A and B are shown apart, each in its own frame.
Chain A
Amino acid sequence: MKYLLMIYSDEKAYAARSPEDQKRGYEAYMAYTEALKKAGAFLGSDRLRPTDSATTVRVVNGKSQVLNGPYTETKEQLGGYYMIEASDLDAALAWAARCPGAHHGIMEVRPVWVM
Chain B
Amino acid sequence: MNNIARATADAVARRSYGKLIALLGTRTRDVAGAEDALSDAFATALAEWPLSGCPANPEAWLLTVARRKLIDRARKRKHGESVAEQLLVLTDELVDHAAEAAAIPDQRLALMFACAHPAIDAGIRAPLILQVVLGLDAATIASAFLMAPAAMGQRLVRAKAKIRQAAIPFRIPESEELGERLAAVLEAIYAVFAEGWADAAGTDVARRDLAEEAIYLGRLITTLLPEEPEALGLLALMLYTEARRRARRDAAGEYVPLASQDTSLWDAPMIEEAEALLRQASRQAVFGRYQLEAALQSAHVHRRLTGIANWPHVVQLYDALLQSCGSPVVAINRALALAELQNPAAALSALDAVATDPRLLEYQPYWAARAALLAKTGAGTEARHAYDVAIGLERDPAVRRFLQQRRAEVRE
Contact = CB atoms under 8 A, between A and B. Distances in A.
B117 A89 contact: yes
Interface of A: 1, 87-90, 92-93, 109, 111, 113-115
Given A1-B167, A111-B165, A89 B119 contact: yes
Contacts of A90: 168-169, 171, 173
B121 to A, nearest CB: 14
A45 B168 CA distance: 24
Contacts of A113: 165
A111 B165 CA distance: 7
Contacts of B173: 90
A87 B167 CA distance: 8
18 contacts: A1-B167, A87-B167, A88-B29, A88-B167, A88-B171, A89-B119, A89-B166, A89-B167, A89-B169, A90-B168, A90-B169, A90-B173, A92-B167, A93-B119, A109-B166, A111-B167, A113-B165, A115-B80
Interface string B146-190: 000000000000000000011111010100000000000000000
Contacts of A114: 82
A113 to B, nearest CB: 8
A60 B144 CA distance: 48
Interface in B79-130: 80, 82, 117, 119
Number of chain B interface residues as a range:
10 to 19
Contacts of A115: 80
A115 B80 CA distance: 8
Contacts, number: 27
Nearest to B119: A89
A20 B168 CA distance: 39
Contacts of B80: 115
Given A88-B168, A89-B168, A90-B171, 5 more contacts: A89-B119, A90-B168, A93-B119, A111-B167, A113-B165
Nearest to B170: A88
B290 to A, nearest CB: 25
Contacts of A111: 165-167
Contacts of B171: 88, 90
Contacts of A87: 167, 169
A88 B29 CA distance: 10
Nearest to B171: A90
B82 to A, nearest CB: 6
Contacts of A92: 167
A1 B85 CA distance: 13
Nearest to A90: B169
* Closest CB pairs A-B (n = 4): A88-B169, A88-B167, A89-B166, A1-B167
A90 B82 CA distance: 21
Contacts of B117: 89
Nearest to A93: B119
Contacts of B82: 114
Interface string B278-313: 000000000000000000000000000000000000
A6 to B, nearest CB: 14
A111 B168 CA distance: 11
A38 B82 CA distance: 27
A88 to B, nearest CB: 4
Contacts of B119: 89, 93
A5 to B, nearest CB: 13
Contacts of B166: 89, 109, 111
A28 to B, nearest CB: 23
Nearest to B168: A89
B98 to A, nearest CB: 27
A88 B176 CA distance: 18
A92 B29 CA distance: 16
Contacts of B167: 1, 87-89, 92, 111
Interface string B349-377: 00000000000000000000000000000
A91 to B, nearest CB: 8
Contacts of A1: 167
B31 to A, nearest CB: 14
Nearest to B80: A115
A3 to B, nearest CB: 8
Contacts of B168: 88-90
B113 to A, nearest CB: 10
Nearest to A109: B166
A15 to B, nearest CB: 32
